[in-house]
């Protein structure tokens, strides 16, 4: 079945460091891929998405490229800030019509220290 495997955390970085959070997926067909971010005590916010192979999603300095050949959607940011401290979830939406279950990874907690 469809699933997402996400790099386990927690991840602690110094401000301005480079961030990579790995995400790989298993799916039939061509799913849509998402990164969501959750700040403490809040719901999830969509950070970026990609709907087809080789698409690059980007937002707020974060990027992720939909790699079909490696079934990956790694999240990157060149220079993290303290305000980026949050939990990041990789998610997959199968390519079928109708309401879909989003398949989530277990989340990666990022802490950025000044």
Contact residues: other proteins, CB under 8 A? 32, 34, 36, 41-46, 49, 51, 89, 93, 97-102, 104-107
The vertex-102 CA angle with 101 and 107, nearest 5°, equals: 140
- Nearer to other proteins by Cβ, of 29 and 41: the residue is 41
- Nearer to other proteins by Cβ, of 40 and 114: the residue is 40
- In whole angstroms, the minimum distance from the beta carbon of 51 to other proteins comes to 7
- In whole angstroms, the minimum distance from the beta carbon of 54 to other proteins comes to 18
What backbone torsions phi and psi does residue 30 show, to the nearest 5 degrees?
Answer: -125, 90
- In whole angstroms, the minimum distance from the beta carbon of 83 to other proteins comes to 18
Distances (CA, A) of 112 to 13, 20, 31, 82: 5, 13, 31, 5
Residues 6+ apart with CB under 8 A from 96: none
């Amino acid at each position: 079945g469809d699933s997402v495997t996400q790099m386990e955390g927690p991840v602690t970085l110094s401000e301005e460091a480079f961030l990579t959070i790995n995400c790989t997926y298993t799916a039939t067909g061509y799913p849509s891929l998402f990164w969501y971010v959750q700040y403490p005590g809040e719901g999830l916010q969509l950070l970026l998405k990609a709907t087809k192979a080789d698409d690059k999603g980007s937002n707020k300095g974060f990027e992720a490229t939909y790699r079909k050949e490696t079934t990956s959607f790694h999240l990157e940011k060149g220079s993290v800030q303290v305000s980026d401290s949050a939990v990041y979830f990789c998610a997959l939406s199968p390519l079928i019509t109708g309401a879909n279950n989003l398949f989530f990874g277990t989340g990666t907690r990022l802490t950025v220290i000044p």
